[in-house]
Structure 1
C-alpha cells in the first residue's frame, strides 16, 4: 500500500519548483522505503507538463500506471530497460522505447535521445527522470555511470528540461553516492523513522533545509 504522496504545498515549502523547472537537476537519495520513487514521480509532474522516464527496473506498463497517480499518463514517455532483460517484449511507439538491458548504457542513451526527439514533437517542455541509478551500479563502475549521467543531464539541460534521478543509499557506497551527486544542481535526501517519512533539500554549497514530513 502506497503511503500518502507529498502534496504540491509540501513540495513548494522546501523545494524551489519554479527554479528547478528551467533545466536544473536534482538527485533523490535515501534508504529503501523512504519515499524516493514517490518524490520522483511527483516532481516529474510538478516540474513540467510532460514526463520522460528512464526506467531501469520497472516495465513500461507498470511505470505508466504509477505515474497516473500523479500526472497525465498520456504525456509520459518511457525508456524501458527492464522488459527485454526479463524476457518480455513490446512494440515501440511514440512514448515507449525498449533497451535490451541496463547493462547497455550506449543503447540506453540512444533510446533516450530518440524518445526525446519524439516527445519534442508534442511538448516543448518535459521533465526527465531516472529510476534508478542504483540499478546501473550493479553492472558498471561508478565512473562509467557518472559519465552516463553527465551526458544525459547535459542533453536535458540543453533543452531547458529539468531532470530528477534516484539512488538507493542501501545499494551504493557513500563514496559512490558522493561522486554521483556531483553532476546535479541539488540533492533531496529522504529518511524514514518512527515518525514517518521526511525529506530535506540542499543546493550545491548551501545548507540543507529543515526536514519536511510527507
Structure 2
C-alpha cells in the first residue's frame, strides 16, 4: 500500500476521508441508517481498486449487497456470515467470496475468515474496507468482557493492516457503560439520529469534522 493512503467516503459524511488504519464506530437507534451507512462506505472504495469485506451477524447479507450494488459493482466485495444459518450466499453472488462461521460468538472463526480474505486479495488491492454489523448482536452471544477483547483484537488487526473498519452498535439497546466501553476502542464515532423524518449525522474524533448535526448523505 502506498504511503499516506486514505479512504474516500464521498459525500456520505461531513468529512471527506479517513486515514488508513482508522476504526470507526457507528451508533444510533434502530432505523437510523447504520447498515445503510456502512454498506455505502464499503461501496465508495469499489472504483479505487480497494477490497471490501462485510461481516454480518444479523443475516442481512442480502440487504448489504443491495445497498452496495446501488453504488457500485460488487466485484471487490466479500462476506463473512456469522448467523450459522447455512443458507448460502445471496442470489447471484459468488459462493467463493462468501464465508460462513458458526455463530456471532465464534470469534476465532471470524479471525480465520479475515485471514482467508487477506490471503485471497493479497496485493491486488490498494487497501481494504471492513464492515462489522453489528456489535449489538455479538453481545447477545458473549459477555461484555469477551466482546471487548474481541473488538480490541479486531481493531488492532485492522489498524495493523491499514484497513478502514466500520462497526455498528445500536445505542438504544445497550447501557451507557457498555457503549462507552466500546467507544474507547475506536478512533472515530459516527452518531446517527432521525429528526422530523431526516437522518442526521454527527462525527467526533476527527479533527476535520464540524460540530453538531448535519443531514446524512
TM-score range, shorter chain: 0.7 to 0.9
Provide the alpha-carbon RMSD of the alignment. Answer: 2.6
Aligned to 2:87: 88
Verify the 8 A CA contact 2:194 2:200 in the aligned structure 1: yes
Greater helix content: 1
Choose from 132, 150, 168 the match for 2:152: 150
Please give the residue correspondences for 1:30-45 in structure 2 after superposition, counting only pairs within 5 Å: 30-45=28-43
Cα distance in 2 between the residues matched to 1:206 and 1:142: 32
Aligned-pair CA distance for 1:170 = 2.0
Cα distance change of structure 1 residues 10 and 74 upon mapping to structure 2, 3 Å threshold:
closer
SS at match of 2:38: helix
Aligned-pair CA distance for 1:129 = 0.9
Q: What do residues 3-29 of structure 1 show as CA deviations (whole Å, max 9, x unaligned)?
A: xxxx93352xx2241xx2411111000
Please give the residue correspondences for 1:33-112 in structure 2 after superposition, counting only pairs within 5 Å: 33-46=31-44, 49-82=50-83, 85-89=84-88, 93-112=95-114
Choose from 182, 188, 191 the match for 2:190: 188
Cα distance in 2 between the residues matched to 1:155 and 1:30: 25
Cα distance in 2 between the residues matched to 1:206 and 1:180: 22
Aligned to 1:201: 203
Any gaps of 5 or more consecutive residues in structure 2? Answer: 1-8
Q: Which moved more, 1:57-66 or 1:179-188?
A: 57-66
Cα distance in 2 between the residues matched to 1:177 and 1:162: 21
Cα distance in 2 between the residues matched to 1:204 and 1:180: 17
Cα distance change of structure 1 residues 207 and 123 upon mapping to structure 2, 3 Å threshold:
closer
**TM-score normalised by the chain length of structure 1:** 0.83
Q: Give the paired residue count.
A: 202
Aligned to 1:117: 119
Verify the 8 A CA contact 1:94 1:118 in the aligned structure 2: no
Verify the 8 A CA contact 1:29 1:169 in the aligned structure 2: yes
Any gaps of 5 or more consecutive residues in structure 1? Answer: 1-6
Cα distance in 2 between the residues matched to 1:209 and 1:50: 31
Cα distance in 2 between the residues matched to 1:59 and 1:169: 19
Cα distance in 1 between the residues matched to 2:62 and 2:198: 29
